[in-house]
Chain A
Amino acid sequence: MTPGPEPSSANNACAVRTDSLCRHYQMGQTLIRAVDGVSLQVRAGEFVALLGSSGSGKSSLLNLIAGLDHPSSGTVIVEGKNLAQLSRPELAKYRLRTVGMVFQSFNLVSSMTLAENVELPMRFAEVDRSQRPQLVREALDRVGLSARMTHRPSELSGGEQQRAALARALINRPKLLLADEPTGNLDSRTGTEIMDFIREFNQSLGMTIVMVTHERALAERYAQRMLFLADGKLIGDHANPSTTAVATPGEHV
């Protein structure tokens, strides 16, 4: 596993590709087609928004890309790996090294301080103990929380918690950041703040971003491309002219 993303090789390589991807659940008598034959491609370094009303299958699709869920059929290939064929330990390793995730409800461990939360993925990755404090400080510094290292999540505002979650998602230097409604629990001003951070990661670190949202305005403002989902199917794929023009790595900070 390479230590981090390489912005120079980004633009044309394919980071995520799905082919006829399906995820069906059996709910009593009825079969729920959460994801139903989705084929899409995301280029390395691209910022893509998945849009759709609730129940359209956008979160299920994101979970499949994150390796948290297994497809019923079809393939999902991330960084050249077919996730459907990975074993459970391999999937865990993939989640640990290749993707970072942020959630609508932040999902910080409430009993741990911010520093401990950010350190947690490094424990699983067996990063040398002596390096960790420095890396934690850098990560929290990047999101402007170095003064809050010893605070517990409950002592922080929603925006601060989401920033800590972003720091945690970045700590193992993944190539792909998956965000599931990252601003869903935040007011619009704080939401913008979080989105600015995500855009910065995209542009300065060259990370590929796949973000699920139901706010079209937010997607139009930040994403380079918008994919529309309804009833588990891909129904639209629009490039966003206002952002693609400026999406050159390193320009915006």
Chain B
Amino acid sequence: MKAYDLSELAFRNLRESLLRNSLTTVGISVGVASLVAMLSLGIGLQQLASRRLVRSGLFDTVVVSSRRDFRGFGHDNERTATSAAESRVLDESARGEIEHLPNVVEAYPDIRFFTELRYQDKPQMATVAGLPASAKINDAFENMQGSFFSSETAAEAILQKSFAAELLGKTAKPGAEEVRVSELAKPLLGKDLIMRYAERVAPIGSLPTMSDIESPSDLEEIANPEDNAYSVVSREQKLTIVGICDLDPDSMHGAARARVFLPLKLTQNLHVMQPTDLRDTMRSFSNQPIYSSLSVRVKNPKQVLSVEEAVKKMGFNTFSILDATRSLRQFFAVLDLFLGIFGSLALAVASIGIVNTLVMAILERRREIGIMKAIGASDGDVKKLFFAEAGAMGVLGGIVGVALGWAIGHAINLGTNVYLKRQALPPENFWSVPWWLVAAAVAFAFIVSLLSGLYPAARAARLDPVQALRYE
């Protein structure tokens, strides 16, 4: 029998007992809907979590330090691999080389220093760090009060909440409720902060004129420019407070984490004396700045390991937080499996409905099957007809079910967002129906229906026409 005739006969048979077949199809729809709703929530939550992790900047960042830097995070055996004295210097050329490694988005110097900041003539001590422009999308700044830096060299600062509280003298006592960021932001935003710092003035060897030299002792110092001497000058920089952030953007650096952030370019231009500078004085070969460490941002958390390997081969120490997305994916694979199993249960019940409907149809249409066989229908024709009916109910139920599941997921998402809003939390989209889920759900419903049709179809095909025709 041709496909066209088959589908025509199947659909006319489905129409004949419309109510029963519709109810069976609704059963499949509910099954598919529960499957789709469950899985779309699972997938959505996974996407949300991955998005959060990637944006946190914790899992796509590799910290690179020189092997001669004992402050580095590397393990002992790695440090001894090359003797500290022979290892490479982390200078601008090394930075450029790392930035050109595959899968690396950017490599920026990690500039941080502990210094004094004055607010309304009251001094406070804090660690200050430079932030690249790309940090703007970092999760920690998502709910920031105020705004991100207006430019890469603007004399502006973003404060971490706890430091802001200290400036205002509002440090929360243990156990007491934390102060809201918005309360801290109001008096601080737009105000000025005076930062005192130690500027490392360029090596004298590079100074072009002798006019700067005022005393004989100075002359002695510059007698041999190869000695690479430099001077340290105390300076002040006025900063405007533009933002207060709730979260800790620098949590990766543990105890050394900064609480005041400046634009990276500005920090570089200030030539702030770095703690490592003193030691490097003994080995520096050029006038180039030497970085104590670099932060390397990788395209995807999955590529952190390979980038780390490549950087190690160049002779540096590396540090990264283990690829957390891997265990995250594992967790969600298990979660999706469970959600899928629970979702499938409803579909399993629906498939029993198909079997029931088709077996009933055989009993009801016994005579009709006998007639068809008597006038020349083969076993295969009868079998195909029942399969077509089961398959049609499956596809129809699948399509309706996907729409229903989509609606259910949407409703849950909407309801949760209403709840989140009441809790003064930002709305989140933790629900996703990718196109492959739509296709897979319909295909799954189709396959389950065909499997359910297996037994009824075989039974109908085996029917003895002589007996079927005798049946009234």
Which residues of chain A have a CB within 8 Å of any CB of chain B? 63, 66, 68-69, 88-89, 92-93, 95-97, 101, 103, 107-109, 111-112, 120-121, 123-126, 129, 168-169, 172
| Inter-subunit contact B376/A95 (CB<8 Å) | yes
| Inter-subunit contact A107/B379 (CB<8 Å) | no
By a CB distance below 8 angstroms, the chain A residues around B372 are: 109, 120, 124
Q: For residues 144 through 184 of chain B, which have their beta carbon under 8 Å from a beta carbon of chain A?
A: none
By a CB distance below 8 angstroms, the chain A residues around B374 are: 66, 68, 95, 101, 103, 107
| Inter-subunit contact B379/A123 (CB<8 Å) | no
| Inter-subunit contact A126/B2 (CB<8 Å) | yes
By a CB distance below 8 angstroms, the chain A residues around B377 are: 92, 96, 124
By a CB distance below 8 angstroms, the chain A residues around B371 are: 107-109
Give bound CA distance, A129 to B4, whole Å.
10
Give bound CA distance, A169 to B373, whole Å.
13
Which residues of chain B have a CB within 8 Å of any CB of chain A? 1-2, 4-5, 9, 12-13, 16, 367-368, 370-381, 465-466, 469
Give bound CA distance, A69 to B467, whole Å.
10
By a CB distance below 8 angstroms, the chain B residues around A69 are: 466
| Inter-subunit contact B376/A68 (CB<8 Å) | no
Give bound CA distance, A121 to B374, whole Å.
10
By a CB distance below 8 angstroms, the chain A residues around B381 are: 92, 124
| Inter-subunit contact A111/B16 (CB<8 Å) | yes
By a CB distance below 8 angstroms, the chain A residues around B376 are: 92-93, 95-97, 121, 124-125, 172
By a CB distance below 8 angstroms, the chain A residues around B13 are: 111
Give bound CA distance, A75 to B278, whole Å.
112
Count CB-based A-B contacts (< 8 Å).
70
By a CB distance below 8 angstroms, the chain B residues around A89 are: 378-380
| Inter-subunit contact A93/B378 (CB<8 Å) | yes
User: Which single residue of chain B is at the shortest CB-CB distance from A172?
Assistant: B376
User: Which single residue of chain A is at the shortest CB-CB distance from B376?
Assistant: A96
By a CB distance below 8 angstroms, the chain A residues around B12 are: 111-112
By a CB distance below 8 angstroms, the chain A residues around B1 are: 123-124, 126
User: Which single residue of chain A is at the shortest CB-CB distance from B367?
Assistant: A107
User: Which single residue of chain A is at the shortest CB-CB distance from B2?
Assistant: A126
User: Which single residue of chain B is at the shortest CB-CB distance from A120?
Assistant: B375
User: Which single residue of chain A is at the shortest CB-CB distance from B472?
Assistant: A105
Give bound CA distance, A129 to B469, whole Å.
28
**What is the distance, in angstroms, from B320's C-beta to the closest C-beta of chain A?**
67
Most buried by B among A92, A101, A108, A169: A92
By a CB distance below 8 angstroms, the chain B residues around A112 are: 12
User: Which single residue of chain A is at the shortest CB-CB distance from B6?
Assistant: A123
**What is the distance, in angstroms, from A108's C-beta to the closest C-beta of chain B?**
8
| Inter-subunit contact B375/A96 (CB<8 Å) | yes
By a CB distance below 8 angstroms, the chain B residues around A92 are: 373, 376-379, 381
A-B contact pairs, 6 of them (CB 8 A): A95-B373, A101-B374, A107-B469, A124-B381, A126-B2, A169-B375
Give bound CA distance, A20 to B216, whole Å.
140
Known: A89-B380, A123-B1. A68 touches B375 (CB 8 A): no
6 smallest A-B Cβ distances: which pairs? A96-B376, A92-B378, A123-B5, A95-B376, A121-B375, A107-B371
User: Which single residue of chain A is at the shortest CB-CB distance from B461?
Assistant: A88
By a CB distance below 8 angstroms, the chain B residues around A125 are: 376
User: Which single residue of chain B is at the shortest CB-CB distance from A122?
Assistant: B5
**What is the distance, in angstroms, from B361's C-beta to the closest C-beta of chain A?**
12
Most buried by B among A88, A103, A123, A125: A123
By a CB distance below 8 angstroms, the chain A residues around B380 are: 89
By a CB distance below 8 angstroms, the chain B residues around A68 are: 373-374, 465-466, 469
Give bound CA distance, A97 to B376, whole Å.
8
| Inter-subunit contact A103/B368 (CB<8 Å) | no
| Inter-subunit contact B379/A88 (CB<8 Å) | yes
User: Which single residue of chain A is at the shortest CB-CB distance from B379?
Assistant: A88
Give bound CA distance, A120 to B1, whole Å.
10
Known: A88-B379, A92-B379, A96-B376. A103 touches B466 (CB 8 A): no
Known: A69-B466, A88-B379, A95-B373. 19 other contacts (CB 8 A): A68-B374, A88-B378, A89-B378, A89-B380, A92-B373, A92-B376, A95-B374, A95-B375, A95-B376, A107-B469, A109-B372, A111-B12, A112-B12, A120-B372, A123-B9, A124-B372, A124-B378, A124-B381, A169-B375
Q: Of B5, B16, B469, which is within 8 A of A103 by CB?
A: B469
User: Which single residue of chain B is at the shortest CB-CB distance from A94?
Assistant: B376
**What is the distance, in angstroms, from B372's C-beta to the closest C-beta of chain A?**
7
By a CB distance below 8 angstroms, the chain A residues around B373 are: 68, 92, 95
